[in-house]
Structure 1
Amino acid sequence: MDIAEETNKADIENMDSIEATRQYLKSSLEISAAIASALDDSGSRLKILTQKCQFLEASLRPISAENLSCLDIGSRINGVLCSAAAVLKVFDAIHPLENSLLTDPSSDLCTYISDTKKLEEALKLLTDNCMLAEGWLQEIFELLQDKAVISNEICLLNVKKSLRILQELQAMEEGARLNGGLLSTAFDKLEIEFKRLLIANSVPLPLSPLTSSINQQATIPALPDSLTGKLQAIIERLQANGRLDKCKSIYVEVRGMNARRSLQALDLSYLEIPRAKFEDIHSIESYIEQWGRHLTLVANHLLEMECRFSSKIFEKIGAEAWKGCFAKIAIKSKIVSFLQFGINVTGSKTDPIKLLKLLEIFSVLNDLRLKFNQLFSGDACEEIRNVTKDLIRRVINGACEIFWQLPAQVKLQRPSSPPSDGSVPRLVSFVTDYCNELLGDTYRPLLTQVLEIHLSWRNEAYEESIIFTQVFSIVKEIAVNLDSWSKSYEDITLSYLFMMNNHCHLHNLRDTMLGNMMGDSWLKAHEQYKDYYAALYLKDTWGKLLPILNKKDLLSVSVSSSDTPKRLNAFNVAFDEMCKRQSSWVISDETLREKLRKQIVEGIVPSYRSFMKNYSLTMENDEKAVKSIKYTEPNLEKMLWSLFELKMSKYGSMKQVQFISKIKKMSAQLFTLATTV
């Protein structure tokens, strides 16, 4: 990243911080205005409550003085008076807490939380005394109403009025607790402080593509104990008053936003590719390795950090609370999008390359298995676990399905035509390279695990020979294809060249995983077949030119002067026709190509040299005959050395690599076509 990009990134982060600060100040001003209004209401409410309590006390006193001859209710009336007095004392205790709870909690959070708790206890005491007094009054009212000894109806009305006042007091305070009273305002301020502390201590994790390498890991910041204590204290108070859900919502919002900011360092645009584009595995092949690195990075660093933070902050509340928060943050961290990308890959068309890519996906998931079990335990993460299980099931079933189809896919290519230049078919080179990949140290252990799991689902045992047997079947089908293709050439000589090329290709598998699996006898057999078809080719082509130069032997020319020009002309015609016919033929292996050229040159040039020497001696006086010589010995040799050249030299080195890659891709797509058929 250059300086301009780094500066731009820093500016964006600064703007995000400024915007967050502006929103916080705006919110604080709105809360302050609400608090001011609430204070006015609280003051008026307290005055009303005080007046009603005083009236209650005054109205009950005459009743206590009544002389009830039939019922002894004095003690009960005194109990009501005591409860009413306790209500007044609670109101007196609440007044000193008002100023403290209207301040900013950030200045002294510990004191603020302590005062909040005191207010809670005072209100609880108030509620309890109101309920107690209300119960006493209810009994008194029922007694007075039932007894005829009460002649003064005013007493009964006073009791009834006092009961109504207590009920109103209780209802008013309950409403104040829930809808804008001082305690509710204090909780609002604690929520704001909780969010402020989280924002101030939430810094994006420095993720980058380099971070996923072995030697570089993102440093997960530690959570200061002082911060943890503050956040836990706020959570405790909010939970005790039914505000835990709001607290968790704030936590998920802040930490989720921080997780998304951490992911901005990675290019995750490929996660948004439409599902329709996953039909062709080759169109998204390059993204799969990137997907694996990013998923590993997110799980091992970002989600590990969020899991650790959530469990630490909410540990006193219980696992259900912190796992619920973490699950929502994980979803905001695109974990489901990562898993869905893998599911989309499994839905692409059947292709041999898809098998390798599914094994790569399995490798990533297998490496993350313990980490996923650690992170996504509990009911809150059930959705993530279900999607993960679905992905694993699809990967294993899809990989095994392709693996078992490989021999049949090779067989389906049998009706196709072989290369017109007699070279090694793209399918053959691709399949041998592909088998080497499957047998290599990268993919064979993964394929073994996948097959073991798949067979265990079917209650079948895995055998070590399964992979080798399947690869042997693939090679066997290739051999049958080669025999079939060789018979489709109209020119028998070209079929010899074709078989020579392919047997050479198979013999060259020595010291490869496939060659080692097939064994020395198999490799030697292909070497012998290569030499056999090379001999047939030489005999059926260039061997036919030698009798034209010398009908008796290959090393001398003894012909009459009249026959010499005819022989030369016949040789020229046959040589030109031979070169023209073979001008497009190819020998893929460089060593074989050079060896065959050398055999042709050593077989033709010495005889041509001897013939031309005698020709020159015989026709030295025939100027017309001398001028009719078409090829000098160097020219003839040069033409022979130019045979069978690969027609790729016009491509540059990079273009040649791209061309070969394109060929392999086309070969792989043949399997897709075969499966469709």
Structure 2
Amino acid sequence: MVRSRRGGLQSIFAHKTAPSSPSSSSLSVSPVASPLHTFSDSMMEENVEIAESMIRKWNPDTWNYAEPLSSLFSGDRREAKEFVKSVKNLQRAMHYFAVSENTSHDRLVQAQCLMQVAMKRLEKEFYQILSSNRDHLDPETISASFSSHASFKSRSSFSDEDEIRSEDEIQIAENSVSEAECVSTIAMSDLRMIAECMISLGYSKECVKIYKIIRKSIIDEGLYRLGIERLSSHQIQKMDWEVVEVKIKSWLGAVKVAVKTLFAGERLLCDFIFANFDFIRESCFSDVAKEGAVFLFQFPEFVAKGKKSPEKMFRILDLYDSVSDLWPEMESIFSFESTTIVRSQAIASLLRLGESVRGMLAEFESAIEKDSSKSALPGGGVHPLTRYVMNYLCFLSDYSGILSDVVADWPLPVQATALPDTYFENSLNEEEMAITVRFAWLILVLLCKLDGKAELYKDVSLSYLFLVNNLNYIVLKVRSSNLHFLLGENWVSKHESKVKQYSSNYERMAWNNVLATIPSENSTLSSIECIKECFNNFNSAFESAYRRQSAWAVPDGKLRNEIKVSICGKLVNSYRRFYDEYRVLLRNERNSESFVRYSPDDLGNYLSDLFYGSKVSGSSSSSSSVHSSSHGSTS
């Protein structure tokens, strides 16, 4: 430095031109002295000399890449900073020479040649850092690096002082984070330094081109590894739903990583490297990420264009939920004007998915109404339609939050709007009421359909048992799912009361004829023949009722026991009073067992075998079947 400065002073006082060195490259052009040579002229010439020495040393056209440390930014990185600093000083000299009347044209040409060589060097360094650090500049590592170092987020400029500070931060990083994050931190700092230098000196085109090519390949490779396929709408429509469903599962597993890691990491990297150049920052990120993001969010829209079958509902809702959940991150990541197309594509997918969901709900309601099964279900158990609809609605209720968004502006059926407010909880807000009424309406459509199916039974008591079973199943499904939260306790209580009402109707229709054969407590039988006739009438009525109901079913164990307890409480207790009072009067009669076929305990045993859906024999204490004429216990 002292030598160079002395050379500069000599030129001022001696007014002589320094001789050219024999070993100098073509980059050197001998300065031409001027009678008006100033101190500023000398300082600028010195800057050129220093830059020439550094640039010649790292000239990419003469460098032997077989030698170790072939990268300016490997090893002692202070020399890289000196290189960048000398290039900036060279730029100052060029500006000075361009306006100075004392500078020869040759001096300006020399500086320009040096600058071109320096930019070529930095261009190669920029490419080498990006390409050799692909694994360390992956979005996940970048995100981790930014999380570890908050200073990255707040830095918006990169001055000479920042270069020194950055070196200190890198040293801290080396001591506090993983090796991958440390390498990532160093690489990002170097890339930013190079980008700041090249762009500020008018070489943005070369820098940006390298960045876009390499980083776009990383984004494309990342999407490929996540299993994101670039399928057209036509290709998806031709696939079987089972195949599409597999691809939906793959997409759902990949999209969150793609947005929150892949694209978010790329945005962080872009924002950091090109922090002081808004247009370039936007251009780089847009060209790198836009195409892949559009393809990513076209997939839900293409799927939603398919046939609106209710069986596809849950996968469509999963897609809607995923896109909706990621929307805040997408708004932030793709906030540039040039990436509006990505946000628009996501919105288009949401709209198409919402339209598909509404179509499937309408199709589901129509399918319930159009159910054409005309045969009565044997035994009056739970109808397959009831199971299908309630299981479907239970799963659907887990998506109530999404459905609230989807159906917010979708008018309810006219009949559904007539449901009384007292049908539901009073605390529901308008949005909750909309989705609640829709679920209540679908269940009401099912109940109406079940009323029609109950009419298929010739035995009125069995039709009531059918309604008991199906309504009880519906209430249990509501209680054990998110439907309970949606419909509320008022709805459940009203329908539980209806189950009891149907059950009471069944008992009355099925067993009143049997109870009617038992004399009332206040009546008195005047003769043995009357007593025999009462016993015979009871036997006939009970056997007929039992024979008819032996194949009837109550699948729910709790409900089955409640019905049997209720029947026993009425029938067995009444029969026991009659039995205890008149049995002794027939004890001396011949063949009394033919009249008194059942003890009260026998009745209890037979009733305990009801409602299992098939004809079964009584328990061990009931040795005879009601379907035969053999005698029961009369003890």
Q: TM-score range by the shorter chain?
A: 0.5 to 0.7
The question of whether the paired residues in 2 share the 8 Å contact of 1:411 and 1:477 is answered with: yes
Partner-residue secondary structure (3-state), 1:205 = helix
Using CA pairs below 8 Å that are at least 6 residues apart, which structure has the higher relative contact order?
A: 1
Aligned to 1:598: 565
Matches within 5 A, 1:169-208: 186-187=121-122, 189-195=124-130, 198-199=133-134, 201-202=136-137, 205=140
Q: Displacement of 1:391 after TM fit?
A: 0.7
Alignment of 1:73-472 (within 5 A): 97-101=55-59, 102=63, 104-106=71-73, 107=76, 108-114=79-85, 186-187=121-122, 189-195=124-130, 198-199=133-134, 201-202=136-137, 205=140, 220-222=147-149, 225-226=166-167, 227=186, 228-239=188-199, 240-241=202-203, 242-249=205-212, 251-252=214-215, 256=219, 275=236, 280=241, 284=245, 295-296=255-256, 298-318=258-278, 320-327=279-286, 330=289, 335-336=293-294, 338-347=296-305, 349-352=307-310, 354-355=312-313, 358-359=316-317, 361-413=319-371, 415-431=373-389, 443-452=399-408, 466-467=434-435, 470-472=438-440
Question: Structure 2: how far apart are the matches of 1:270 and 1:246?
Answer: 26
Unpaired runs of 5+ residues, structure 2, are: 1-22, 31-47, 64-69, 153-165, 168-185, 412-428, 615-635
Partner of 2:449: 481
The offset of 1:110, in angstroms, is: 1.9
When the two chains are superposed, the root-mean-square deviation of aligned CA atoms in Å is: 6.0
Unaligned 5+ segments in structure 1 are 1-42, 54-89, 135-165, 212-216, 456-461, 648-677
Deviation at 1:393, TM superposition (A): 1.1
Change (3 A) 1:556 1:513: farther
Q: 1:256 and 1:233, CA in 2 relative to 1: closer, same or farther beyond 3 A?
A: same
Specify whether residues 410 and 515 from structure 1 end up closer, same or farther in structure 2 by C-alpha distance, changes over 3 A only: farther
> Which residue does the alignment assign to 1:654?
none
Offset of residue 323 of structure 1: 3.2
Shift of 1:495: 1.8
CA 299–204 in structure 1, closer or farther in 2 if over 3 Å, else same: closer
Deviation, structure 1 residue 552 = 12
Measured against aligned partners, the alpha-carbon deviations of 1:233-283 in whole angstroms (never above 9, x if no partner) come to 3224544334123331355158548956xx97xxx5597998469865899
User: What's the secondary structure of 2:270's corresponding residue?
Assistant: helix
How far 1:313 sits from its partner (Å)? Answer: 0.7
* Secondary structure, aligned partner of 1:243: helix
Give, as a single letter, the amino acid of the residue that structure 2 aligns with 1:489: Y
- Given the alignment, which residue of 509, 526, 530 partners 2:503? 530
- For the 8 Å contact 1:414–1:481, the answer to whether it is kept is no
Distance in 2, Cα, partners of 1:203 & 1:512: 44
Shift, 1:422, TM fit: 0.8
The structural deviation recorded for 1:183 is 5.5
Whether the 8 Å contact between 1:422 and 1:586 is mirrored in structure 2 is: yes
How is 1:631-670 mapped onto 2 (pairs within 5 angstroms)?
Answer: 637-645=604-612
Checking the alignment, whether the CA contact within 8 Å between 1:198 and 1:251 is kept in structure 2 is no
Q: Which moved further from structure 2: 371-380 or 115-124?
A: 115-124
Residue by residue, what CA displacement relative to the aligned partner does 1:354-379 show, whole Å, maximum 9, x if unpaired?
A: 55654554444344333211111235
**Secondary structure, aligned partner of 2:190:** helix
Cα distance change on mapping 1:402 and 1:495 into 2, 3 Å? same
What is the CA distance between 1:632 and its match in structure 2? 8.2
What is the one-letter code of the residue matched to 2:334?
F
1:421-454 Cα shifts (integer Å, max 9, x gaps)? 312324335545666777x6x6555434333456
Q: What is the number of equivalent residue pairs in this alignment?
A: 497
Q: Is the 8 A contact 2:369 2:449 kept in 1?
A: yes
Per-residue displacement from partner, 1:67-92 (whole Å, max 9, x unpaired)?
xxxxxxxxxxxxxxxxxxxxxxx999
Q: CA deviation at 1:205?
A: 2.6
Q: 1:520 to 1:329 in 2, by over 3 A?
A: same
What SS does structure 2 have at the residue aligned with 1:105? coil
In 2 relative to 1, CA 339–579 (structure 1 residues): closer, same or farther, beyond 3 Å? farther
- Mark the CA change 1:340 to 1:196 in structure 2 (over 3 Å): closer, same or farther: closer
> Counterpart of 1:71?
none
Change (3 A) 1:205 1:230: closer
Q: Specify the code of the residue in structure 2 equivalent to 1:592.
A: L
Alpha-carbon distance between aligned partners in 2 of 1:360 and 1:93, rounded to the nearest angstrom: 60
How high is the sequence identity, in percent, across the aligned residues? 17
| Alignment check: 8 A CA contact 1:281 1:353 kept | no
SS at match of 1:303: helix
The alpha-carbon distance between structure 1 residues 424 and 615, as it changes in their structure 2 partners (threshold 3 A), is: farther
Distance in 2 separating the partners of 1:96 and 1:486 = 96
> How many angstroms does 1:501 deviate by?
2.6
Q: Measured at CA, do residues 192 and 327 of structure 1 come closer, stay the same or move farther in structure 2, by a change above 3 Å?
A: closer
Q: Cα–Cα, structure 1 residues 45 and 280, in superposed 2: closer, same or farther, change >3 Å?
A: same
The SS at the match of 1:350 is coil
Contact 1:557-1:610 at 8 Å conserved across structures: no
State the alpha-carbon separation in 1 of the partners of residues 359 and 220 from structure 2. 41
- State the 1:496 CA deviation: 2.9
Cα distance in 2 between the residues matched to 1:219 and 1:96 = 33
Partner of 2:618: none
Is the 8 Å Cα contact of residues 334 and 342 (structure 2) preserved in structure 1?
A: yes
C-alpha spacing 1:560/1:339, structure 2 compared with 1 (3 Å): same
Distance 1:96 1:471 in 2: 77
User: Does the C-alpha gap of structure 1 residues 492 and 382 become closer, same or farther in structure 2, counting only changes over 3 Å?
Assistant: same
Aligned pair in 2 of structure 1 residues 99, 477: CA closer, same or farther (>3 Å)?
Answer: closer
Q: Give the 3-state SS of the residue equivalent to 1:421 in structure 2.
A: helix
- Within a 5 Å distance, the mapping from 1:503-582 to structure 2 comes to 503-505=471-473, 513-514=486-487, 516=489, 518=491, 524=497, 527-539=500-512, 543=514, 547=517, 571=539, 575=543, 581-582=548-549
1:496-555 alpha-carbon deviations (Å, 9 max, x no partner): 321333454567668764365658667645543432233212236xx28x85x9999999
Equivalent-residue separation in structure 2 for 1:206 and 1:114 (angstroms): 29
Give TM-score, length-normalised by structure 2. Answer: 0.58
Go from structure 1 to structure 2 and tell me whether the alpha carbon gap of 1:93 and 1:369 turns closer, same or farther (over 3 Å shift).
Answer: closer
- For residue 610 of structure 1, report the CA deviation from its aligned partner: 3.8
CA contact (8 A) 1:407 1:470 kept: no
Tell me if the contact between 1:436 and 1:512 (Cα under 8 Å) persists in the aligned partners.
Answer: no
The answer on whether the counterparts of 2:304 and 2:352 sit within 8 Å (CA) in structure 1 is yes
CA distance in 2, matches of 1:317, 1:619: 116
1:642 maps to amino acid:
D
Q: Following the alignment from structure 2 to structure 1, what is the Cα–Cα distance between the partners of residues 493 and 137?
A: 64
